[in-house]
Every structure is written in structure tokens, then in C-alpha cells.
Amino acid sequence: MRIFAKARAKLNLTLSVKGRRLDGYHEISSLVAFAGVSDGLCLQPARELSLTVSGASAEAAGQGEDNLVLVAARHFSAQYPQAQLGQFHLFKQLPVAAGVGGGSADAAAALRLLAQANGMKPDCGPMLALAALIGADVPVCLASRARHMAGIGEQLGPPMVMPQFYVVLVNPGVKLETRAVFSAMGLAPGQSSFACAEPPIRDGMDAAQWLAALRRSGNDMEDAAASLAPVIVSVLAVLAGARGCRLARMSGSGATCFGLFENRRDAMTAAMTIKTYHPAWWVKASLLRG
């Protein structure tokens, strides 16, 4: 039986870079939420592992051995040699190398489908450890719930209850590799940084309290990303100037930026207006999910 999972876009509502470890990895702290915009992944259990890809971002994602769906499946198979694999088809809509965890979300969706096909729990400890081997954002994408993440992505806080926000996502069509943005930040191994403040957000806070707390934080990768892709500055200005936008920020290592709105009408109007004046940009309006 064919089974299906969504791979939802991850948004870093805040992102603090604490420093760079001696092993070269960067320590971060981030408040993460997920949009309704997603890739789609289906699995047809079969003897052989395979992958086909379609959709607007199919060419950029590729369907070779380095696609994270296949990487995740190979890691799963190595840990569970007797497990059932199968034929994956990825409907790729999210932009690639864009700061919304598209590949990581695809990998997490693959793990969820393989767990389901083999009668396993997708959120168990071994599965989270497996997700961490694949990529820094894969553990948080496994459950796709709003929460804090820290370390190099392996430290996850409990799921959070957040108020309803609508979000407009904008990507100007520029690919930014996370490694290049970290490099532009210029942190040497063992060096700490002056990270942005972490917002004091807790369950039970209303939308106004969330926004006030988020405004006291930021994304430490934003300046470095803008130095590599100056169009990010323009995207943020366009979002911030949209009627009803309460907060405009870059997600992850960019170049995707987002604006938070408190009602659907303002978000939809902003998305349509931005797309009209910038037809080459990828623009989506969505409910921000906790």
C-alpha cells in the first residue's frame, strides 16, 4: 500500500549563533516553527530502494544518490538491515538551499514513512539519533512541531503551543549554501560570538506577547547571508513594508525570508502584491503551524 507524508517548510523564528566548536561545527540556538507549505513524499513498499522526483524544484533537488531522501533511507537500512524499503516519489515544491530545511524535511518525511512501513514509532530515541546523523535540521523536522533547538540541532526542547499566525514566505531565487554563510561569518574554531538575545517565550503567551519577544531577538546569520546575496535586504524591506506585517526576518541561512501576519487577508494580499511586482520570486502565503 502506498503511504504519504508532508515535508513542511521549517522557519527559524529566531537564530542565535553561539560560536564555533573546535571540531568546526557551529553551536546555535533557535526557535523553530513550521509552515503549511510543503513538499510531498510517497512510499510504495518494494524490494528495491529507488527515488523519482517531480515538481517545480525537481531539477534543483536532483534524484541521485546525494538526495537526502535516499541518504535517509540508506541510514535507516544500515541501522535496520531487515527493514522494508521501497520506491519513493518526491513532489518537490520548496526551494533548494533556501533556509527552510527543504532537504531536511524530505529526509525526515522519509524516516517517518519507513518507520510507518515497518511498524515503528517515528519519534523514538533511536530514530532521533538516526535523524541527527543525516543533518542538523532533520531531528527537528521529524515531528515538525514548534520548539527550541540547540547545539548542532540535536538538542530539542518540548513542543510548544503557539498562537495563530499567518506567514508569507519569499525566496528571491538565490541559492545559499549554509557552509558558505557560516564561512562568511568568519568564526574560527573555538571562537565564541556575540549572539543575539534569546526570546523569553513560553506556553500560554498570546500573539502580542510572542511578537514582542521575537522582536527582541533576530537571526545572527542575516548579515553574512546578505553580504553574499544583497537581494535579501530588498526582500526584507518589501515584507516589512507590507500592510499588516508584524515581523520580517530571514530564515536559517537564507535566502528565504518571511513576514508574520495576524490575519489571513493581509497575508494573502501581501503575497499577491509581492508576486505581482516581483514575478521571478517564489512567494507563498500559509498558516504558520505550531
Q: Which residues are catalytic?
A: 10, 137
**Whole-angstrom distance, CA of residue 3 vs CA of residue 44:** 7
**Whole-angstrom distance, CA of residue 129 vs CA of residue 18:** 23
Q: Are 177 and 41 in contact, with CB atoms under 8 Å apart?
A: no
**Whole-angstrom distance, CA of residue 85 vs CA of residue 44:** 8
Which of 19, 103, 3 minimizes the C-alpha distance to 60?
103
Which of 16, 20, 17 minimizes the C-alpha distance to 187?
20
Classified as helix, coil or strand, 260 is strand
Q: Are 152 and 26 in contact, with CB atoms under 8 Å apart?
A: yes
* Cell numbers placing 173: 531565487
